[in-house]
Amino acid sequence: MLERVIRWSRKKSPWILHLNSGACNACDIEVVAALTPRFDVERLGVLLKATPRHADVIVATGPVTRQLKDRIIRIYEQTPDPKFVIAVGACAMSGCVYRGAYNICGGLDQVIPVNVYIPGCPVRPDAILDGVVKLLNTL
């Protein structure tokens, strides 16, 4: 019984952590623009949290630079189970224009396991919402 309540609350109100791993900021502004009155993601219960220990879903943008690789793994381990990772943007999927650079690991799935990929450069805020909803429907 308690299990069902917990699963319902996790599905209806996910708390997200926004992680920027060396991106150009375009996807990050679109993630923040999702909170502003036009797209207003907070009416659906999604809260932007400041620390990994409170988050259910990690929303990550950007190609992974070498300096940040260890820190991303540490943040992933600090997030409590069950957790989901969403890779937002073409950079997090495969590196976008920066493929082949010496400081880039090339895509988020080389570092941590990813559940959902959202394409775009940059991603529209409605597409981010769509991706989060698709993830929650699989729960």
| 11 SS3 class | helix
Q: Residue 8 or 126: which CB sits closer to another protein?
A: 126
Helices 26-33 and 125-137: crossing angle in degrees, nearest 10, is 70
Q: Residue 127 or 136: which CB sits closer to another protein?
A: 127
- Candidates 53, 57, 58, 65; CA nearest to 24 is 65
The CB-of-7 to another protein minimum distance in angstroms stands at 25
Judged by CB under 8 A, the stretch of 4-12, 79-87, 110-118, 130-138 that binds another protein is: 110-118
| CA–CA separation, 95 and 91 (whole Å) | 4
Residues 3-62 that bind another protein (CB under 8 A): 17-30, 32-33, 36-38, 48-51
